[in-house]
Amino acid sequence: MAQCPIIVVGSANTDMILKMEHLPKPGETVLGGDFAMAPGGKGANQAVGAARAGGRVVFIARVGNDDFGARAIEGLLRDRIAVNYIFRDNVRPTGVALIFVARNGENSIAVASGANAALSPADVRKAASAFDGAGFLLTQLETPLDTVLAAAELAAQKSFRVILNPAPARLLPDALLAKIDILTPNETEAELLTGIRVAGARGARAAAAALKRRGVKTVIITLGPRGAFVSGPAVEGLAPGFKVRAVDTTAAGDIFNGALAVALSEGRALMEAVRFANAAAAISVTRWGARPSVPKRRELEAFLSGD
């Protein structure tokens, strides 16, 4: 089990998922899909990913004062996540994500942020006591950038490490990157942040170096089934992925980040922690849905042992 609490600051959504033969092209209507609804949001997915991997998790978020918000909190409680700092918004509804998933596992997502867009630096400051004794902050970009920066600054004051998953992709200021201990972009996000095409190890190495020059201490570029390229202060190289049959990649990145935070909080070496996170992501893509795909600790240990 994790040795120190993990603070997750981020989004909570309700996912509305449509499974279909292929993703619609612009102007195209695709018939015959299957519909499902599930809790989601990058922040909540990462919180659940960390909790099921064995972490002690506190989640800071904002949801609407509506049925979707109540269901989101209930679901997090079932995973033993501390919800004391999930704020209810009386003006904005809980965020909603519309997700198309093709037979080959590819997905297309549109998000109505709702209450997520109102999560504020003041909300983070109200949760300051939760940061005492924590070991890691894990955050993403489905909430306002000034809120992410406020959380990173508070983590720095408390002297614990910050993991930023820069998704959805957007440009980031050096003032934020300088406060990030571990940045976990995928290939698309790394290219947007650096202008360097990540098409292989050479591109990943160049992009990682560019991000480190801007102040990031460690860069982990996720490469889907190929694994992840890791560039830290004392180690650099590819952490290979696992061969599985993918059916839905919707939350793989979120689950990777949650598991990574847990492995590092347990004191594992960086490459070992990335292998643990790769395993969590690999298991997740073999299942439908975001939250239902998150593996539990015993599943991870069995997968890694080859059982």
Tell me the three state secondary structure of residue 220. Answer: strand
User: Within 13 A of 188's CA, how many CA atoms are on the CB side?
Assistant: 6
- Whose tokens are 């957007």? That residue is 170
Q: Which residues pair with 20 in a beta bridge?
A: 102
Q: Determine which one of 79, 181, 254, 307 is catalytic.
A: 254
3-state secondary structure of 200: coil
Q: Is the separation of the CB atoms in 219 and 231 below 8 Å?
A: yes
Number of Cβ within 10 Å of residue 124's Cβ equals 28
What are the two backbone dihedrals, phi and then psi, of residue 277, each rounded to the nearest 5 degrees? -65, -40
254 noted as active-site residue:
yes
Cα–Cα distance, 221 to 228 (Å, whole number): 5
Decide: 277 and 260 in contact? Cβ < 8 Å: yes
Residues 192, 186: contact at Cβ < 8 Å?
Answer: no
β-pair type (34-40, 227-231) = unpaired
DSSP 79-107: TT-B-TTEEEESSSPPEEEEEEEETTS-E
Of 69, 72, 45, give the one whose Cα is nearest residue 57: 45
**Strand pairing class (34-40; 13-20):** antiparallel
Q: What angle do CA 59, 233, 170 make, to 5 degrees?
A: 50
Residues identified as active-site? 254
